[in-house]
Amino acid sequence: MSELVSRAVERLRSAGVVLERGLSETELDRVEERFGFSFSLTHRRFLATVLPLGQGWVDWRHGEHDEIEGRLAWPIDSALFDVERNSFWPASWGEKPADPEVALAHARTRLERVPRLIPVYVHRFLAAGPGDVPSPVFSVYQTDVVYYGDNLLDYVAQEFHAPPAHPTPRPRIPFWSELANGLDDDEL
């Protein structure tokens, strides 16, 4: 287990989070296959070590399929809400189609090309893998995206009020980092 993961687990334990035994490699593979993504190596190591449970956590072992699908769809669906109802339209997408249904279809196509975000807790997300691609933890609520931690350990420290982890350079995740950095539509 990496030091980052072991320290994150220790912080969760001291915060009183319910921790079950981690997922087996078979269980992790099954989740990835069933939902069509790969956990990043850090996220995978974390879930192989412990499975946090309780309100806000994803029960990757026994959770309802539709509930997990909904959590996975949240980042794109909530961005589409802003396209439809709040005039969100990045300049890099070109001119917004006048027909709302065409605009939504175009936005969905564009958003399906950005890195997929995988839920950690409530509306906090890590970028999907494969491999050990470093990822900050994002808080995503529609297109209001903020950094909630430079990595998993930093996130756990902030979310569960533990002393901050040693800062590390924050990795850039295309599209999501630009939103978290506060870029306006005309800058995206």
pLDDT band at 172 (very low <50, low <70, confident <90, very high): confident
Domain boundaries, the chain: 3-187
pLDDT band at 167 (very low <50, low <70, confident <90, very high): low
Contact 94, 3 (CB under 8 A): no
Task: State in words which class domain 3-187 has.
Answer: alpha beta
pLDDT tens readout for residues 88-143 = 999 999 999 999 999 999 999 999 999 999 999 999 999 998 777 678 999 999 99
pLDDT tens readout for residues 41-84 = 999 999 999 999 999 999 999 999 999 999 999 999 999 999 99
Q: How large is the C-alpha radius of gyration of the chain?
A: 17
Does pLDDT of 1 surpass 60? no
Q: Tell me the C-alpha distance between 126 and 149, whole Å.
A: 10
Higher pLDDT, 170 or 43: 43
- The identity of residue 66, as a single letter, is D
DSSP string over 146-186: EEEESSHHHHHHHHTTPPPPPP-PPPP-TTHHHHHTT--GG
